[in-house]
Amino acid sequence: MALSTLNLLFGAGVSREVARLSAEAMVGSFIQAALIIVVPAAAFLIWVSQRDQLTRGR
C-alpha cells in the first residue's frame, strides 16, 4: 500500500517548475493569512489589553 502511494507521489511526472510555483503559492498564502487574520487580531487584543489596564488603574 505504501509503495503504491509513493509511486503516485514521485512518479506523477511533475516538473520542478510546477513544484516550485506550488511552494511559492503556499508560502504566499501563509503570508496573506498572517496579514489578513493574525496581525489585526493581535493588534485588537493588544488594544483591548491596554484599554483594560488603563481602566483598572483608575
pLDDT tens string 18-52: 888 988 999 999 999 999 999 999 999 999 988 88
Does residue 57 surpass a pLDDT of 70?
no
Cα–Cα distances (Å) from 36 to 11, 24, 43, 51, in that order, read 37, 18, 12, 23
Q: Is the pTM of this model over 0.85?
A: no
Does residue 7 surpass a pLDDT of 60?
yes
Cα Rg, the chain, nearest whole Å: 22
**pLDDT at position 32:** 96
**pLDDT at position 26:** 94
